[in-house]
C-alpha cells in the first residue's frame, strides 16, 4: 500500500495538533488523512497475512521497496525533486532486497 504516505502527506497540510472537540471533528473531515489511516490499517492486515506464509527475514526487507514507489509517486503527484542521492539510495535498496532473497 504505497499510497499511505501520499494521503498522509496531503492530509498533514490540514492537520493541527490541538486537543479540542472541534479539532476532532476537523480531523474526521480531513478525507486525505482518513484515507491514509485506512490504507495504513489495510496494509498492516495484508502484511500480517504475508507473515503467515513467509519468513519475517524475507518479508520485512521487501517493505523497503515501498521507498522506491513513494519516491516515484512523490515525484509524479507531489512534484518533489529526485536528486542523485535518492537515485543511489533506490539502487542500493534494490541490490539489498535482491541479496536478501538469495
Cα separation, 26 vs 35, whole angstroms: 14
Flag the least confident range among 3-12, 63-72, 81-90, 93-102.
Answer: 3-12
Helices (H) and strands (E) in the chain, counts: 6, 0
Q: Which helix (H) or strand (E) holds 46?
A: helix 31-53
Residue 1: predicted pLDDT: 55
Q: Please state the domain extents for the chain.
A: 1-53, 55-102
What are the CA-CA distances from residue 6 to residues 13, 16, 88 (Å)? Answer: 12, 18, 22
Summarize pLDDT for 16-70 with one digit per residue, the tens. 666 666 666 777 777 888 888 888 889 888 888 988 998 888 888 888 888 898 8
pTM of the model: 0.64
- Which residues lie closer than 8 Å to 100 by C-beta, 6 or more apart? 57, 58, 61
Amino acid at each position: 500500500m504505497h499510497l499511505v504516505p501520499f494521503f498522509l502527506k496531503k492530509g498533514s497540510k490540514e492537520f493541527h495538533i490541538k486537543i479540542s472537540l472541534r479539532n476532532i471533528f476537523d480531523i474526521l473531515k480531513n478525507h486525505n488523512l482518513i484515507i491514509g489511516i485506512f490504507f495504513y490499517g489495510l496494509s498492516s492486515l495484508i502484511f500480517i497475512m504475508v507473515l503467515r506464509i513467509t519468513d519475517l527475514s524475507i518479508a520485512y526487507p521487501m517493505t523497503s521497496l515501498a521507498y522506491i514507489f513513494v519516491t516515484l509517486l512523490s515525484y509524479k503527484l507531489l512534484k518533489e525533486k529526485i536528486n542523485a542521492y535518492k537515485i543511489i539510495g533506490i539502487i542500493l535498496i534494490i541490490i539489498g532486497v535482491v541479496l536478501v532473497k538469495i
